């Protein structure tokens, strides 16, 4: 379903301002830079296996939408070209919108971050003792311990049938907690289903109505809707093998992932958020403060979570935003609030790695940052059977909780704490046994050999795995998307 970056982690490591957000067309940028961005986007999505039938990008500089471009096919069968007006499923980027709704209620005094959720939703949540200790803050930060419903309902076919947010909560909030609330971190879509119900309860409106009135309208977002909007150009989603993604009932993708939007509309959301239109600047700062669940994801990089946004740090630079993925779609929204900069990337394929497009775009507009992050271009080469066998063993060991630490480099050993090891074991246990492991490509940077594989598991889950070895042949990174 939607697991932002799926950071199992084992890797290297007040009222809103009364204003109206900018909603105009992109402010023209230099023709040479625009052409360079167009070429970088086309080149990147055409690169197998990181491409998608279509991709759409928007760029914000100095708080202004300066670039919006789409390339490729929104629908392969009808040969319909994607345009900047084409809507894509934004999946878990929806969580950013939900978090803003929650923080607006906090600002208005209707909600406390440390309020127990059982006091807010009497008669809605299962009547079980374990929920008494969970607070709104823990839902926002994914530290509640609530079981994640996403992978389960896709694997068992439930997503083919209609449901309700209350039914999701009734089924999954009653399951045993993964950990005591507040003691660990574990990404859970269920957290945000509960948050959506809280917004409805306290506002007296449906979540969709609240979003339209309190987020979309003030931000100038006219191309964002719950699910596809009839009559609006909408991309069709595709699987990792280029086949149309199976139909899913969008009732399963509520406050955690039911929105469709354009890259430009998400840029307007980012501008409104960074400019204090949606929540006060101090509130947005609070959403980024005291991140949890930090994991190393690349040399010099890490991912953590605040009160809604993910915080991706590369060197000394931290991007604030969220990743999203649904069967058929992948999305990325990253901001640099201090620069009033944002980059949005949307694609219509399950295995579309948004980070590749991010890197290509940043190489044009912020080249020093890309040099610091050392994101390499994809290089398809011959498979190394010994590396494939080693990765298979590593995954098998994770499921069994018996990783050989002598195989890990120092940074990986430090990052792979007992808590992270337990989290990884639980996650892989929910996937089931590794079924297939297909080599995609390999790259090399900063003395590291980086391998990408496509993996499938017994529960039907499909993932892209990044596996990194250092110059001493030690495991320096392991990451899932």
Interatomic CA distance for residues 463 and 458, integer angstroms: 12
Taking 70 as the pLDDT cut, the residues of the chain under it are 1-25, 28, 48-51, 295-301, 369-381, 411, 414-415, 417, 419-420, 423, 426-427, 430, 443-448, 460, 479-481
pLDDT value at residue 232: 94
DSSP 296: E
pLDDT value at residue 403: 81
Choose the final residue of a domain: 375, 408, 428: 375
Residue 380 is assigned to a structural domain of this protein? no
Residue 290 is assigned to a structural domain of this protein? yes
Contact assessment for residue 344 and residue 58, using Cβ atoms and an 8 Å cutoff: yes
In this structure, the answer to whether residues 183 and 323 fall within a common structural domain is: yes
In this structure, the answer to whether residues 359 and 265 fall within a common structural domain is: yes
Residue 235 is assigned to a structural domain of this protein? yes
pLDDT tens for residues 159-203? 889 999 999 999 999 999 989 999 988 889 999 999 999 999 999
Choose the final residue of a domain: 331, 350, 375: 375
In this structure, the answer to whether residues 368 and 396 fall within a common structural domain is: no
In this structure, the answer to whether residues 287 and 393 fall within a common structural domain is: no
In this structure, the answer to whether residues 96 and 190 fall within a common structural domain is: yes
In this structure, the answer to whether residues 363 and 389 fall within a common structural domain is: no
pLDDT value at residue 315: 74
Residue 100 is assigned to a structural domain of this protein? yes
pLDDT value at residue 15: 26
Residue 193 is assigned to a structural domain of this protein? yes
pTM above 0.95, yes or no: no
In this structure, the answer to whether residues 164 and 223 fall within a common structural domain is: yes
CATH number at residue 210: 3.40.710.10
For residue 152, the cross-strand partners are none
Residue ranges of alpha helices (H) inside 156-223 are 165-172, 189-203, 207-211, 217-219
> Which tokens hold the place of 268?
């307007």
The 3-state DSSP class for residue 391 equals helix
Residue 221 is assigned to a structural domain of this protein? yes
Residue 7 is assigned to a structural domain of this protein? no
Interatomic CA distance for residues 324 and 229, integer angstroms: 19
In this structure, the answer to whether residues 84 and 165 fall within a common structural domain is: yes
In this structure, the answer to whether residues 362 and 341 fall within a common structural domain is: yes
In this structure, the answer to whether residues 326 and 419 fall within a common structural domain is: no
Peptide bond into 273 cis (omega under 30): no
Question: Which residue range forms the structural domain that includes residue 443?
Answer: 385-480
Q: Is 183 exposed, middle or buried (0-12, 13-18, 19+ CB in 10 A)?
A: exposed
Tally of domains within the chain: 2
CATH number at residue 441: 3.10.450.50
Cα-Cα end-to-end distance for the chain: 11
Choose the final residue of a domain: 319, 342, 375: 375
The 3-state DSSP class for residue 213 equals helix
pLDDT value at residue 5: 37
CA angle 236, 240, 241 (to 5 degrees): 95
In this structure, the answer to whether residues 296 and 428 fall within a common structural domain is: no
328 torsion bin: left (phi>0), alpha (psi -120 to 50), beta (else)? left
Residue 167 is assigned to a structural domain of this protein? yes
In this structure, the answer to whether residues 310 and 276 fall within a common structural domain is: yes
Give the largest CA-CA distance in the chain: 61
**Which residues, 6+ apart, have CB-to-CB distance to 168 below 8 Å?**
149, 190, 193, 252, 254
């Amino acid at each position: 379903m939607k697991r932002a970056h799926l950071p199992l982690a084992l890797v290297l490591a007040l009222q809103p301002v009364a204003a109206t957000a900018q909603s105009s067309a992109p402010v023209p940028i230099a023709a040479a830079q625009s052409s360079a961005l167009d070429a970088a986007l086309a080149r990147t999505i055409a690169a197998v296996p990181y491409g998608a039938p279509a991709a759409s990008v928007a760029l914000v500089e100095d708080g202004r939408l300066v670039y919006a471009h789409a390339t490729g096919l929104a629908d392969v069968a009808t040969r319909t070209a994607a345009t900047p007006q084409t809507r894509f499923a934004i999946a878990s980027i929806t969580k950013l919108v939900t978090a803003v709704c929650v923080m607006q209620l906090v600002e208005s005094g209707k909600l406390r971050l440390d309020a127990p959720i059982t006091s807010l939703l009497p008669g809605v949540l299962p009547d079980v003792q374990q929920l008494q200790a969970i607070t709104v803050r823990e839902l926002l930060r994914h530290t509640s311990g609530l079981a994640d419903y996403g992978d389960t309902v896709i694997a068992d076919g439930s997503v083919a049938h209609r449901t309700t947010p209350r039914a999701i909560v009734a089924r999954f909030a009653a399951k045993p907690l993964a950990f005591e609330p507040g003691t660990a971190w574990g990404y859970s879509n269920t957290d945000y289903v509960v948050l959506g119900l809280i917004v409805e309860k306290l506002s007296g409106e449906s979540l969709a109505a609240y979003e339209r009135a309190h987020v979309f309208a003030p931000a100038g977002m006219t191309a964002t809707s719950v699910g596809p909007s009839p009559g609006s150009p909408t991309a069709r989603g595709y699987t990792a093998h280029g086949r149309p993604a199976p139909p899913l009932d969008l009732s399963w993708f509520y406050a955690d992932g039911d929105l469709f939007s354009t890259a430009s509309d998400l840029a307007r959301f980012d501008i409104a958020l960074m400019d204090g239109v949606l929540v006060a600047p101090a509130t947005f700062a609070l959403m980024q403060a005291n991140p949890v669940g930090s994991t190393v994801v690349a040399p010099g990089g890490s991912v953590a979570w605040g009160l809604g946004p993910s915080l991706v740090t590369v060197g000394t630079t931290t991007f604030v935003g969220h990743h999203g993925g649904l069967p058929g779609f992948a999305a990325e929204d990253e901001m640099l609030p201090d620069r009033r900069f944002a980059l949005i990337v949307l694609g219509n394929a399950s295995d579309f790695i948004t980070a590749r497009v991010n890197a290509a775009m940043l190489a044009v507009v912020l080249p020093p940052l890309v040099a610091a992050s050392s994101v390499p271009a994809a290089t398809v080469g011959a498979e190394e059977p010994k590396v494939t066998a080693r990765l298979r063993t590593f995954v098998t060991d994770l499921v069994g909780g018996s990783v050989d630490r002598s195989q890990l480099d120092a940074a990986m050993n430090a990052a792979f704490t007992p808590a992270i090891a337990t989290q990884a074991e639980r996650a892989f246990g929910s996937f089931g046994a590794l079924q297939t492991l297909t080599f995609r490509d390999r790259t090399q940077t900063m003395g590291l050999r980086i391998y990408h594989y496509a993996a499938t598991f017994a529960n039907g889950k499909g993932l892209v795995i990044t596996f990194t070895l250092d110059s001493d042949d030690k495991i320096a990174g392991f990451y899932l998307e």
